[in-house]
Structure 1
Amino acid sequence: MAARADQRARRWRRIGATALVCLAIVAAGCSVPPPRGSLPAGTPGADGPCGVARTDLWNPLDLRHADVLFEPTGDGRPWTGGSCSDDARPVVLVAHGYLGTAPEVYQGLIDHLVGAGFVVVFPGYTVEYGPSHQYEVVDSGFDLGVEASGRVDTSRVGVVGHSFGGGMTPWLVQQIDARGWGSEALWAVTMAPHYVLEVGTGPIELPARTHLAVVNYDEDVVVDARIGIDLYRSATLDPSQKVHVMVHTDRTVDPPLFADHFGPISFEFASFLSNLSTDRGDRWSAWRTVDATAGCAMDGRWCDTDLEDMGTWPDGRPVVRAEVSADPVDVGPPAIQECEFFLNPRPCP
């Protein structure tokens, strides 16, 4: 009993230390990086050929943070079709986490998406609890970015959300559908989603053509995985149109490779944060899932991707596999934002 109590105390100390460190670096990420490396060309998660051009816009609904537009450049031929410099490119809205107001927090993911030929819009919103306004800021910022680009094919639309932005993803998909966008391809990937607001307390109505992936992390001490599980279960989609992925910590290495709340985050601009730059973990657990979901929605490719596969270590040992399940359960530790907290309007599974 004493040993178990001591183990529990150590676990809570690690949870507390992890949360404090994460907040101290503005939600930069806490994962121990696995070896760097690219995925083979022609597979989901692989680097694309397009360059990146950035334009800072300003959203009248929130002038404190830039509404950032990223566009593909060059003559490469990405998997999304055509040329990087085409006048009609598919678009992705990136809805950031609560503290991740600068796109540099997600630069690895953004560069990957633009490299694949997507126009990316990253609307910043202020860190203050006003969900209705924050949701509107992101939605209007997306519209503003699409209009400013002039290169967007609005029939092919995706949403990638993380944490607080992950919670707003279903509502954003509804707004996209209301505009008549996404007629050829509509998809969404939400990672470690915060409370799902503005969609009621019952079934989450999404257009039947939507492809949805919900990603949770088994050692997320910030957001309860049951929130993502409820989102997955409640989405009114055919089972073939949605998937839940639980990414697991790998304890076969020392220190362990933790599957934590900050999986999709990678800084690319600060050398002193090199351990938080893009690594194989980002490519396998985030980029690969995003590409597979988008590819399946856009032209039927990669629909049978094994999303449990997290790659191998340099010595050939497999990284601990994720779990894809039609009946997911929460296997993680207590979180700062538990499902039963009063701010969550939805039932807990």
Structure 2
Amino acid sequence: MTFTAGPFGFLLGMVPFLIGFLTGSGIEFDKARATNEFARALQEKHQLYFWITFSLFLIIVGLFLFHYIYNVKKNKFNPESKTNQFFSYIRIITAICTGYLVYELVIYLLINEIYYHGAFLTIPYLIGLGITLGACILVFTDTKFMAFLYQSVLKQKKQNILYSINKSLNYAKLGKNCIVLILGLIFMIPSIFPMVGITPNPDVQPESGYGSTDRPYSVSKIRIENKLPADIASYVYPDNENSSWYSYIYLPNLAEKSLDVESQIPLAFFLHGYGGSYHMEYDATLRTLASRGVAVIFVQYATDLNVEVILDNLENASTTNSADYYVRYNMTWNGIENSVDALVGNNTLIDQEDLTAILGESYQIDLSRIMIMGHSYGGGMTLFIGPQVIKQGWATKQLIIDLEAPWFASKWTTHDIGLSNLPNYTIVNVVGYEDDATASPCIGMSHFERFYSRDDSDPLNSSQVSYLYIQSDRYGFPRQIATHYLPTDALINTLAHFGYFRRLDAMAGFLTADAYNQTSVAIEALTYFTNGGTHVTWMGDWSDGTPIKPILYSIDPYGKRGGTNIAVLVLDPDHEECQG
């Protein structure tokens, strides 16, 4: 019975997953996110969880072993006994659970290849422990198999064993149990030392200054509806409640402070990744920016589009020329314009009393100082939103553009506006992650070259344009893996605190300090996201004093101008964008 119960448990998990995957439900991303959150919760108290789970493992195995030894001595190996009948039910349940854990292991290995890249040890430890425990229970509750081991494997014979042994069947059981046991041990044993806490652990985040928990302001959040133009609305499938689309505005609670001057509030636009329209996936990012005194606008754009309608209505549209970008880019820009108008009082989407309660009686939305951030698909979108901001007449004093693990930019004629009109004071950071299996860091390198040269016009000053390559570090535990999803809340680790949040915090701090003419504060903030100094590249230390691998900084990532060629270091150096 257990021979079929195990595969049944495996199929119990695998079939729904395959159905969801093949129907495009996004089940693999949901699974990855749920695993991320679970693993992070375990890592916070991994030593405690290890001793609890490992102790339970030893107790359960010890009890079953004691039961076996006791019955051998007391001559109680009766296959018809109630205990053995009860054990048969335990074996069936255990086999189903073990089969399900094998499914979890298979899915973990598949998703690990895409998302984690070995970031977690708690998950394989728990799965391996569960499979190992299952194998042990299957052995100790099978009295006929234990008798076979006693007589055949241990080369001893007990006359008081009351039933004959089917050797061929038990050899098959021996093979199956050994495979399951070895499988569990392979994934459990390597995780034991890190789980116990013997290996070095990393600094969590900066203790003070940018990137620390020291925040000038608390943060409020406002949601407004993004009313789409009729043509754009016809291209998207309904989402959210009432088929509405929203913009989320994070604001510093300036009213809590007694400021002597009129509050100056720069703006930041955050462009989310493909499929990342749920703002809470970036909540920590949005709050980090707003807590420095910046108003942050997060606009939802659609993932799923009505492609047939797009192809029928957009001139020269095809499935290969970025026509779908037209919809998402314009949804985003529409939301940005509506949100800015709401903040400056040009529409009624936000009640003025609500703004006054948050921002105080005397404030000014500073459209002359703008920050544009994009992750993944949103990173590519910055090449459209940046020029749009300039065309609008904004960012006349400061413009910061930050691309995190960026995807390709649109080549649609109306979107590829070009970067030649970016102002001389534009500051650009393009960031690639070593274990990004979704968007090659070389895509960002090609964007870097466009920003640096301003599309082969007049290059920006090299001190204002940076390419940053965040390396993974597997030296200690938790492992620090720079994956595509590092900016999302589900995967906040040391790399995120030092290599991402510290930089964003400084960018927002720079804009605010510049708005208040706090020159020395603004100059210090610049050192955290320009020129590649220690504040930019240092990532903290492991607990034994070993430095965590630093960020690689470059103004020449392809090595075209005599710099270090970072393109040869990426996971996929043969990628078309890695050729420079």
Which category describes the TM-score, using the shorter chain as reference length?
0.7 to 0.9
- Distance in 1 (alpha carbons) for counterparts of 2:34 and 2:426: 29
223-232 or 279-288: bigger deviation: 279-288
- CA pair 202-185 structure 1, distance change in 2 beyond 3 A: closer
2:572 maps to 1:334: yes
Correspondence for 2:296 among 101, 120, 135: 120
| Aligned twin of 1:14 | none
Q: Please report how far the alpha carbon of residue 152 of structure 1 lies from its aligned counterpart in structure 2 after TM superposition.
A: 2.1
Q: Please report how far the alpha carbon of residue 189 of structure 1 lies from its aligned counterpart in structure 2 after TM superposition.
A: 0.8
Q: Please report how far the alpha carbon of residue 218 of structure 1 lies from its aligned counterpart in structure 2 after TM superposition.
A: 0.9
Q: Please report how far the alpha carbon of residue 89 of structure 1 lies from its aligned counterpart in structure 2 after TM superposition.
A: 0.8
- CA pair 188-27 structure 1, distance change in 2 beyond 3 A: farther
Correspondence for 1:222 among 438, 441, 448: 438
More strand by share: 1
2:251 maps to 1:71: yes
Q: Please report how far the alpha carbon of residue 310 of structure 1 lies from its aligned counterpart in structure 2 after TM superposition.
A: 1.1
SS in 2 for 1:301: helix
For structure 2, the 5+ residue unaligned runs are 1-25, 37-114, 121-200, 234-242, 306-323, 345-363, 455-459, 515-521, 529-533, 558-565
36-45 or 128-137: bigger deviation: 36-45
2:497 maps to 1:283: yes
2:567 maps to 1:316: no
- Distance in 2 (alpha carbons) for counterparts of 1:173 and 1:158: 9
Q: Please report how far the alpha carbon of residue 23 of structure 1 lies from its aligned counterpart in structure 2 after TM superposition.
A: 6.0
| Aligned twin of 1:212 | 428
Deviations 1:184-230 (A, max 9, x none): 21101110000022564987653222100001001100011111001
Deviations 1:67-90 (A, max 9, x none): 11111114677xxxx959965311
144-153 or 35-44: bigger deviation: 35-44
Q: Please report how far the alpha carbon of residue 20 of structure 1 lies from its aligned counterpart in structure 2 after TM superposition.
A: 8.5
CA contact (8 A) 2:288 2:505 kept: no
| Aligned twin of 1:132 | 326
Percent same amino acid at aligned positions?
24
2:401 maps to 1:188: yes
- CA pair 85-66 structure 1, distance change in 2 beyond 3 A: farther
| Aligned twin of 2:461 | 238
CA contact (8 A) 1:201 1:347 kept: no
SS in 2 for 1:318: coil
TM-score by length of 1: 0.78
- CA pair 47-170 structure 1, distance change in 2 beyond 3 A: farther
TM-score by length of 2: 0.49
- CA pair 90-83 structure 1, distance change in 2 beyond 3 A: farther
| Aligned twin of 2:340 | 146
SS in 2 for 1:110: helix
- CA pair 287-296 structure 1, distance change in 2 beyond 3 A: same
- CA pair 174-193 structure 1, distance change in 2 beyond 3 A: same
- CA pair 213-324 structure 1, distance change in 2 beyond 3 A: same
Q: How big is the alpha-carbon RMSD for the aligned residues of Structure 1 and Structure 2?
A: 3.2
- Distance in 2 (alpha carbons) for counterparts of 1:221 and 1:116: 32
- Distance in 2 (alpha carbons) for counterparts of 1:43 and 1:166: 23
- CA pair 249-83 structure 1, distance change in 2 beyond 3 A: farther
- Distance in 2 (alpha carbons) for counterparts of 1:251 and 1:181: 44
Q: Please report how far the alpha carbon of residue 22 of structure 1 lies from its aligned counterpart in structure 2 after TM superposition.
A: 4.3
Which letter does structure 1 place at the counterpart of 2:251? E
- Distance in 2 (alpha carbons) for counterparts of 1:76 and 1:312: 36
Listed as ranges, the matches of 1:78-117 within 5 Å are 87-117=263-293
Correspondence for 2:373 among 142, 150, 160: 160
Q: Please report how far the alpha carbon of residue 159 of structure 1 lies from its aligned counterpart in structure 2 after TM superposition.
A: 0.8
SS in 2 for 1:302: helix
For structure 1, the 5+ residue unaligned runs are 1-18, 268-275, 341-345
- Distance in 2 (alpha carbons) for counterparts of 1:158 and 1:104: 20
Q: Please report how far the alpha carbon of residue 281 of structure 1 lies from its aligned counterpart in structure 2 after TM superposition.
A: 2.6
CA contact (8 A) 1:247 1:259 kept: yes
CA contact (8 A) 2:404 2:431 kept: yes
- CA pair 47-96 structure 1, distance change in 2 beyond 3 A: farther
Count of aligned positions:
311
| Aligned twin of 2:217 | 50
- Distance in 2 (alpha carbons) for counterparts of 1:170 and 1:303: 22
- Distance in 1 (alpha carbons) for counterparts of 2:261 and 2:254: 6
Q: Please report how far the alpha carbon of residue 149 of structure 1 lies from its aligned counterpart in structure 2 after TM superposition.
A: 2.2
Which letter does structure 1 place at the counterpart of 2:341? E
| Aligned twin of 1:7 | none
- CA pair 285-85 structure 1, distance change in 2 beyond 3 A: farther
Q: Please report how far the alpha carbon of residue 166 of structure 1 lies from its aligned counterpart in structure 2 after TM superposition.
A: 0.5
Q: Please report how far the alpha carbon of residue 46 of structure 1 lies from its aligned counterpart in structure 2 after TM superposition.
A: 5.4
Q: Please report how far the alpha carbon of residue 136 of structure 1 lies from its aligned counterpart in structure 2 after TM superposition.
A: 1.2
Select the structure of larger CA radius of gyration. 2
| Aligned twin of 1:13 | none
CA contact (8 A) 1:247 1:323 kept: yes
Structure with greater contact order relative to length (CA < 8 Å, sep ≥ 6): 1
